[in-house]
Protein backbone atom coordinates (compact mmCIF):
# COMPACT_ATOMS: atom_id res chain seq x y z
CA UNK A 1 0.00 0.00 0.00
CA UNK A 2 2.63 2.46 1.15
CA UNK A 3 4.69 1.72 -1.92
CA UNK A 4 1.71 2.37 -4.13
CA UNK A 5 0.93 5.68 -2.44
CA UNK A 6 4.53 6.73 -3.02
CA UNK A 7 4.63 5.50 -6.58
CA UNK A 8 5.49 8.44 -8.72
CA UNK A 9 5.14 8.32 -12.42
CA UNK A 10 6.48 10.76 -14.95
CA UNK A 11 3.29 10.12 -16.90
CA UNK A 12 1.23 12.31 -14.53
CA UNK A 13 3.87 15.01 -14.56
CA UNK A 14 3.94 15.25 -18.30
CA UNK A 15 0.14 15.07 -18.37
CA UNK A 16 0.07 18.33 -16.37
CA UNK A 17 1.49 20.08 -19.42
CA UNK A 18 -1.34 18.59 -21.44
CA UNK A 19 -3.89 20.46 -19.31
CA UNK A 20 -2.04 23.79 -19.55
CA UNK A 21 -3.37 24.94 -22.88
CA UNK A 22 -6.93 26.27 -23.04
CA UNK A 23 -9.21 26.39 -26.07
CA UNK A 24 -8.19 30.03 -26.51
CA UNK A 25 -4.57 28.84 -26.64
CA UNK A 26 -3.73 30.41 -23.30
CA UNK A 27 -1.19 28.72 -21.03
CA UNK A 28 -2.55 28.21 -17.51
CA UNK A 29 -0.02 28.77 -14.75
CA UNK A 30 -1.61 26.33 -12.28
CA UNK A 31 -0.94 23.14 -14.26
CA UNK A 32 2.32 24.62 -15.62
CA UNK A 33 3.70 24.95 -12.11
CA UNK A 34 2.28 21.56 -11.07
CA UNK A 35 4.19 20.07 -13.97
CA UNK A 36 7.34 21.77 -12.75
CA UNK A 37 6.83 20.60 -9.15
CA UNK A 38 6.60 17.03 -10.45
CA UNK A 39 9.74 17.41 -12.57
CA UNK A 40 11.62 18.71 -9.54
CA UNK A 41 10.43 15.72 -7.53
CA UNK A 42 11.71 13.46 -10.27
CA UNK A 43 15.01 15.34 -10.30
CA UNK A 44 15.37 14.66 -6.56
CA UNK A 45 15.20 10.95 -7.27
CA UNK A 46 18.32 11.31 -9.44
CA UNK A 47 20.44 12.14 -6.42
CA UNK A 48 22.11 14.96 -4.54
CA UNK A 49 24.43 15.76 -7.42
CA UNK A 50 21.52 17.62 -9.04
CA UNK A 51 20.60 19.61 -5.93
CA UNK A 52 22.15 22.80 -7.35
CA UNK A 53 19.72 22.45 -10.24
CA UNK A 54 16.65 21.64 -8.16
CA UNK A 55 17.38 24.46 -5.71
CA UNK A 56 17.19 27.03 -8.47
CA UNK A 57 14.13 25.42 -10.05
CA UNK A 58 12.36 25.29 -6.65
CA UNK A 59 13.17 28.96 -6.01
CA UNK A 60 11.67 29.94 -9.36
CA UNK A 61 8.55 27.81 -8.98
CA UNK A 62 8.13 29.25 -5.48
CA UNK A 63 8.28 32.83 -6.78
CA UNK A 64 5.54 31.98 -9.26
CA UNK A 65 3.40 30.13 -6.70
CA UNK A 66 3.57 33.19 -4.47
CA UNK A 67 2.25 35.37 -7.29
CA UNK A 68 -0.46 32.81 -8.07
CA UNK A 69 -1.58 32.75 -4.44
CA UNK A 70 -1.03 36.46 -3.75
CA UNK A 71 -3.18 39.56 -3.81
CA UNK A 72 -3.06 39.83 -7.59
CA UNK A 73 -3.77 36.15 -8.12
CA UNK A 74 -6.38 36.73 -10.81
CA UNK A 75 -3.67 38.38 -12.93
CA UNK A 76 -1.59 35.23 -12.70
CA UNK A 77 -4.10 32.74 -14.04
CA UNK A 78 -2.39 32.43 -17.41
CA UNK A 79 0.91 33.47 -18.95
CA UNK A 80 -1.04 35.83 -21.21
CA UNK A 81 -2.76 37.62 -18.32
CA UNK A 82 0.54 37.78 -16.40
CA UNK A 83 2.42 39.37 -19.30
CA UNK A 84 -0.34 41.90 -19.88
CA UNK A 85 -0.58 42.83 -16.22
CA UNK A 86 3.12 43.03 -15.42
CA UNK A 87 3.95 45.05 -18.53
CA UNK A 88 1.04 47.46 -18.06
CA UNK A 89 2.01 47.98 -14.42
CA UNK A 90 5.72 48.51 -15.11
CA UNK A 91 6.71 45.52 -12.99
CA UNK A 92 9.22 44.06 -15.45
CA UNK A 93 12.89 45.06 -15.53
CA UNK A 94 13.56 45.24 -19.26
CA UNK A 95 17.21 46.36 -19.46
CA UNK A 96 18.85 45.46 -16.20
CA UNK A 97 17.75 44.19 -12.83
CA UNK A 98 16.80 46.89 -10.35
CA UNK A 99 15.72 46.64 -6.74
CA UNK A 100 12.33 45.30 -7.84
CA UNK A 101 11.33 41.78 -6.88
CA UNK A 102 11.81 39.21 -9.63
CA UNK A 103 9.00 39.61 -12.13
CA UNK A 104 6.83 36.69 -13.17
CA UNK A 105 7.95 37.32 -16.75
CA UNK A 106 11.69 36.95 -16.13
CA UNK A 107 11.10 33.99 -13.81
CA UNK A 108 8.90 32.12 -16.29
CA UNK A 109 11.43 32.90 -19.02
CA UNK A 110 14.03 30.83 -17.10
CA UNK A 111 11.62 27.92 -16.72
CA UNK A 112 10.62 28.29 -20.35
CA UNK A 113 14.24 27.98 -21.51
CA UNK A 114 14.61 24.90 -19.31
CA UNK A 115 11.47 23.44 -20.90
CA UNK A 116 13.25 23.58 -24.26
CA UNK A 117 16.07 21.55 -22.75
CA UNK A 118 13.52 19.06 -21.38
CA UNK A 119 11.85 18.76 -24.76
CA UNK A 120 15.14 18.04 -26.53
CA UNK A 121 16.31 15.67 -23.83
CA UNK A 122 13.12 13.60 -23.72
CA UNK A 123 13.00 13.51 -27.51
CA UNK A 124 16.61 12.28 -27.50
CA UNK A 125 15.73 9.58 -24.99
CA UNK A 126 12.67 8.57 -26.97
CA UNK A 127 14.44 8.22 -30.29
CA UNK A 128 17.67 6.79 -28.85
CA UNK A 129 18.68 3.16 -28.93
CA UNK A 130 19.30 0.83 -26.02
CA UNK A 131 23.00 1.66 -25.97
CA UNK A 132 22.60 5.44 -26.35
CA UNK A 133 24.30 7.22 -23.49
CA UNK A 134 21.96 9.36 -21.40
CA UNK A 135 24.80 11.69 -20.44
CA UNK A 136 25.50 12.36 -24.12
CA UNK A 137 21.81 12.97 -24.93
CA UNK A 138 21.60 15.28 -21.93
CA UNK A 139 24.79 17.20 -22.79
CA UNK A 140 23.75 17.64 -26.42
CA UNK A 141 20.30 18.89 -25.40
CA UNK A 142 21.84 21.25 -22.88
CA UNK A 143 24.37 22.63 -25.33
CA UNK A 144 21.62 23.22 -27.88
CA UNK A 145 19.45 25.15 -25.40
CA UNK A 146 20.13 26.29 -21.84
CA UNK A 147 23.93 26.42 -22.03
CA UNK A 148 23.78 29.65 -24.05
CA UNK A 149 22.31 31.42 -21.00
CA UNK A 150 24.65 30.03 -18.35
CA UNK A 151 28.09 31.22 -17.28
CA UNK A 152 31.06 28.90 -17.58
CA UNK A 153 30.96 27.66 -13.99
CA UNK A 154 27.34 26.46 -14.24
CA UNK A 155 27.98 24.86 -17.63
CA UNK A 156 30.90 23.00 -16.09
CA UNK A 157 28.93 21.84 -13.03
CA UNK A 158 26.04 20.74 -15.25
CA UNK A 159 28.30 18.77 -17.58
CA UNK A 160 29.93 16.99 -14.64
CA UNK A 161 26.54 16.16 -13.09
CA UNK A 162 25.24 14.75 -16.40
CA UNK A 163 27.92 12.05 -16.23
CA UNK A 164 26.14 10.66 -13.14
CA UNK A 165 22.95 9.95 -15.09
CA UNK A 166 21.88 6.30 -15.27
CA UNK A 167 21.82 4.35 -18.53
CA UNK A 168 18.97 4.94 -20.96
CA UNK A 169 17.11 1.78 -19.90
CA UNK A 170 17.48 2.52 -16.19
CA UNK A 171 16.35 6.06 -16.84
CA UNK A 172 13.25 4.90 -18.69
CA UNK A 173 12.52 2.56 -15.81
CA UNK A 174 12.75 5.15 -13.04
CA UNK A 175 10.12 7.14 -14.90
CA UNK A 176 7.78 4.48 -13.45
CA UNK A 177 5.65 4.22 -16.53
CA UNK A 178 6.13 0.50 -17.08
CA UNK A 179 8.58 -1.21 -19.37
CA UNK A 180 11.13 0.77 -21.39
CA UNK A 181 8.90 0.34 -24.44
CA UNK A 182 5.90 1.71 -22.56
CA UNK A 183 7.95 4.67 -21.36
CA UNK A 184 9.03 5.41 -24.93
CA UNK A 185 5.40 5.24 -26.09
CA UNK A 186 4.34 7.58 -23.26
CA UNK A 187 7.03 10.07 -24.30
CA UNK A 188 5.70 9.96 -27.84
CA UNK A 189 2.24 10.89 -26.55
CA UNK A 190 3.36 13.52 -24.04
CA UNK A 191 5.99 15.41 -26.00
CA UNK A 192 3.63 17.13 -28.47
CA UNK A 193 1.90 18.81 -25.51
CA UNK A 194 5.18 20.08 -24.10
CA UNK A 195 6.10 21.35 -27.58
CA UNK A 196 2.78 23.14 -27.75
CA UNK A 197 3.25 24.87 -24.38
CA UNK A 198 6.78 25.81 -25.39
CA UNK A 199 5.67 27.16 -28.78
CA UNK A 200 2.83 29.30 -27.41
CA UNK A 201 5.07 30.75 -24.69
CA UNK A 202 7.87 31.44 -27.14
CA UNK A 203 5.50 33.31 -29.44
CA UNK A 204 3.99 35.30 -26.57
CA UNK A 205 7.38 36.35 -25.23
CA UNK A 206 8.69 37.15 -28.73
CA UNK A 207 5.64 39.30 -29.48
CA UNK A 208 6.30 41.40 -26.39
CA UNK A 209 10.09 41.37 -26.86
CA UNK A 210 10.60 39.56 -23.56
CA UNK A 211 13.04 36.87 -24.69
CA UNK A 212 16.13 38.59 -23.26
CA UNK A 213 14.86 39.75 -19.87
CA UNK A 214 17.73 40.28 -17.41
C1 LIG B 1 17.88 14.70 -15.98
C2 LIG B 1 18.98 15.55 -15.61
C3 LIG B 1 18.64 16.89 -15.16
C4 LIG B 1 19.54 17.89 -15.71
C5 LIG B 1 19.05 19.30 -15.61
C6 LIG B 1 19.52 20.13 -16.79
C7 LIG B 1 19.53 21.57 -16.56
C8 LIG B 1 20.82 22.08 -16.00
C9 LIG B 1 20.66 23.47 -15.55
C10 LIG B 1 21.64 23.87 -14.51
C11 LIG B 1 21.33 25.23 -13.94
C12 LIG B 1 21.18 25.26 -12.45
C13 LIG B 1 21.81 26.42 -11.78
C14 LIG B 1 21.06 27.69 -11.82
C15 LIG B 1 21.14 28.50 -12.85
C16 LIG B 1 20.49 29.86 -12.89
O17 LIG B 1 21.52 30.81 -12.90
C18 LIG B 1 19.66 29.95 -14.15
C19 LIG B 1 19.29 31.39 -14.51
O20 LIG B 1 18.53 31.97 -13.49
P21 LIG B 1 18.93 33.44 -12.96
O22 LIG B 1 20.32 33.33 -12.39
O23 LIG B 1 18.87 34.35 -14.14
O24 LIG B 1 17.89 33.75 -11.89
N25 LIG B 1 18.46 29.14 -13.98
C26 LIG B 1 17.96 28.41 -14.98
O27 LIG B 1 18.44 28.40 -16.08
C28 LIG B 1 16.75 27.55 -14.66
C29 LIG B 1 17.18 26.11 -14.61
C30 LIG B 1 16.06 25.20 -14.23
C31 LIG B 1 16.45 23.77 -14.51
C32 LIG B 1 15.36 22.83 -14.26
C33 LIG B 1 15.65 21.45 -14.71
C34 LIG B 1 14.53 20.51 -14.45
C35 LIG B 1 14.91 19.13 -14.71
C36 LIG B 1 13.84 18.15 -14.76
C37 LIG B 1 14.38 16.78 -14.88
C38 LIG B 1 13.48 15.77 -15.38
Expressed in angstroms and rounded, the spacing between residue 181 Cα and the centre of ligand 1 is: 28
> C-alpha distances in angstroms, 128 versus 121, 131, 167?
10, 8, 11
Residue 106: inside a domain, yes or no? Answer: yes
Whether residue 212 is contained in a domain is answered as: no
Q: Examine residue 214 and state whether it is found in any structural domain, yes or no.
A: no
Out of 33, 36, 114, mutate this one to test ligand 1's pocket (max ligand atoms within 8 Å of CB): namely 114
Q: Are 57 and 51 in contact (CB under 8 A)?
A: no
In a domain, 5, yes or no: no
Cα 44 from Cα 5, distance rounded (Å) = 17
Nearest CA to ligand 1 atom 5: 53
* Beta strand extents in the chain (DSSP E only): none
Q: Is residue 213 part of a domain?
A: no
Cα 121 to ligand 1 centre (Å):
13
pLDDT attached to residue 99 = 84
Q: What is the pLDDT of residue 8?
A: 78
Q: Which residues constitute the domain of residue 69?
A: 10-207
Domain count, the chain: 1
- The residues that bridge with 21 in the sheet, in sequence order, are 27
Task: Count other Cβ atoms within 10 Å, centred on residue 69.
Answer: 9
Q: What is the pLDDT along the chain (214 residues), one digit of tens a residue?
A: 444 445 679 999 999 999 999 999 999 999 999 999 999 999 999 999 999 999 999 999 999 999 999 999 999 999 999 999 999 999 999 999 998 999 999 999 999 999 999 999 999 999 999 999 999 999 999 999 999 999 999 999 999 999 999 999 999 999 999 999 999 999 999 999 999 999 999 999 999 999 999 9
Check which CATH number belongs to the domain holding 134 and give it: 1.10.3520.10
Distance CA 39, CA 51 (A): 13
Whether the predicted interface score ipTM is above 0.90? yes
Amino acid sequence: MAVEADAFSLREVLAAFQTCVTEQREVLLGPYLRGWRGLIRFLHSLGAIFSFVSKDAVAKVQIMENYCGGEQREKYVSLQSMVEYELASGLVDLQKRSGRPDSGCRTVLRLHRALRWLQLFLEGLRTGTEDSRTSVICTDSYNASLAAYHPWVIRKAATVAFCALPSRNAFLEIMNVGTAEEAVAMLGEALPYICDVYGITQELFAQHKLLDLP
